[in-house]
Amino acid sequence: MTRDEAPAGGSMVHSMGEGMTLADWPALTAGEVAAVLSRFGCSEGVTVSWHSPRPMSSAAVVRVGERDCFVKRHDRRVRSAARLRVEHAVADHLRSRDVAVPRPWRREDGDGVVERAGYVYEVHDLARGADRYRDVPSWHPYFSLEHAREAGAALARTHLALDDFDMTASASGVLMDSVDLLGGDLMAVVADQAARREGLGSALSHYDWKVDLAEVEPWAARAHEALKELTPQWTHGDWHPSNLTWSDDDQVVEVLDLGLANRTYAIHDLALALERSCVDWLEVKAGGVVADIAAARALLAGYESLRPLSSAEGKALNTVLPVCHLDFALSEVEYFHSITASRENADLAYFGYLLGHLRWFRSPEGRGLLEILPLGGNARP
C-alpha cells in the first residue's frame, strides 16, 4: 500500500482549538489493520471498534479474535521505526519498575514495529482502566482536584522509575520533546536546528524569528542556569489527563503514550504537566486565559507526596515553567509547515504557542501561577 492508496480521509479529529476538524491522516481500516496484525501471527476476525480523535497520527481500538488491542500508524517523516523501538524500550523499563503502561506487542524476532510503504505501525495491549478523557481535547484541565492530585503522584512514580533508565537522548525533530532550546545560546541552537532540519528551516523562513525570539532569550537563559544544577533523566514528555486511565475511585491505573518521552529533566516534565493541564489555553474567559491554581496546587501536592522537590528543583521550576514548551512548540511549527502543509496551524503554533504561552506568563494570571510554585516551602535541602 502506498501513501496515495491509503484509505480516503473524511474522519473527524480534535482541532488545534475547540471543536472538531477533518483529519490530516486517513483512518485505519480493518483490512489495513489485519495486514499489520498478521505480522504478529493474528489476523482472524479483525474489527475496528473505535477511532482515536487525536489529530497527529491515526490510531484505533481493534478487536482481534477474543481480545482487544490498540493499533497506531505514524508517517515515517514524523516517527521512524528506530524511534518507536526507543519508546518500546521505555515502556519495558517502566513495566519492570511496576509503573503500568500498555505492553507493546512484539513478533517472534523481538521487534514491535511494522513498516509498510510510508508508514510505521505499532500495536499495544489495550490499557486497563477507564479512558475518561478520550473524547476531551488534549491539554484540557482535570475534571477534579482528586484527579490532579493523583496525576501528580503518578508522575512522581514515573520519574522515580525512570531515574535509572540510561539510554542516550533522542535527537530533536518533528513532534519531539527535548530541552535543546534551554541548553545555552538560544539563537545559536535554533539556527543550528534550522540548518540541519530542512523542514524547520523552511518553516522559520516565514517569520522574523530572530527578532521574535529575542524576547524569549533571557527567559531561556535563566532556565538554562537553573537546570545546570540538576541531573538529566528520561521523562514522559506529555503528561496530561488524556494520557492516563482511571479506576472507579479516581486512581491512575495506566500511563499512556510515550511518544514524547526523552532524556530531559524531572522538573521540566513537572513543568509540562502544570502547563498543559492547569492552564486552560483553549477556553478564553473575560480577561483572557485562566490558570486553575487549585489544580496546580493539587498536582504539586500529589507529586511531592512521593518525590519531594529539592531546593534547587523548587527554584528551577519557577524559571522552567514559562519556557518548558519551547522545544515542542518549535517542532509543531515544523510539523504543520512541512508535513501537513497548513499555514494556519503553523502560524497558530508559532504565534499562539511558541510566543503566546510565554507572553501569558507575564500577565497577572501567569504571574499568579508562578507565585504558588515551591521555591522552598515544601522543598527539602
Q: Which three cell numbers stand for residue 38?
A: 498478521
| Domain covering 145-371 assigned CATH 3.90.1200.10 in the classification | yes
For residue 289, what are the contacts with CB-CB under 8 A and spacing of at least 6? 279, 280, 281, 283, 360, 365
Q: Which residues contact 245 (CB under 8 A, 6 or more apart)?
A: 127, 128, 129, 130, 131, 132, 252, 253, 254, 256
Tell me the domain boundaries of the chain. Answer: 3-125, 145-371
Ramachandran class of 186: left when φ > 0, alpha when ψ lies in -120 to 50, beta otherwise:
alpha
Q: What is the pLDDT along the chain (381 residues), one digit of tens a residue?
A: 223 333 444 577 565 656 666 767 799 999 999 999 999 998 778 999 889 888 678 999 999 988 899 999 999 999 999 999 999 999 999 999 999 999 999 999 999 999 998 899 999 999 999 999 988 877 789 999 999 999 999 999 999 999 999 999 999 999 999 999 999 899 999 999 999 999 999 999 999 999 999 999 999 999 999 999 999 999 999 999 999 999 999 999 999 999 999 999 999 999 999 999 999 888 766 568 899 999 999 999 999 999 999 999 999 999 999 999 999 999 999 999 999 999 999 999 999 999 999 999 999 999 999 999 875 334 332
Query: 3-class SS at 304?
Result: helix
pLDDT value at position 9?
46
Report pLDDT for 138.
74
Q: What is the pLDDT of residues 92-137, one digit of tens each?
A: 999 999 999 999 999 999 999 999 988 999 999 999 999 999 888 7
280: CB partners within 8 A, 6+ apart: 140, 141, 289, 290, 291, 292
Task: Pick the closest to residue 67 from 141, 16, 123 (CA basis).
Answer: 123
Please tell me if the domain spanning 3-125 has the same topology as the one spanning 145-371: no
The pLDDT tens digits for 28-39 are 999 999 999 999
Angle, helices 293-306/266-277, rounded to nearest 10 degrees: 150
Give me the CATH code for the 3-125 domain, please.
Answer: 3.30.200.20
Write down the pLDDT at residue 375: 54
pTM value is 0.93
Determine how many CB atoms are found less than 10 A away from the CB of residue 352: 16
Among residues 155, 207, 197, the alpha carbon closest in space to that of 175 is found at 197
CA atoms within 13 A on the CB side of 181: 30
Contact 213, 186 (CB under 8 A): yes
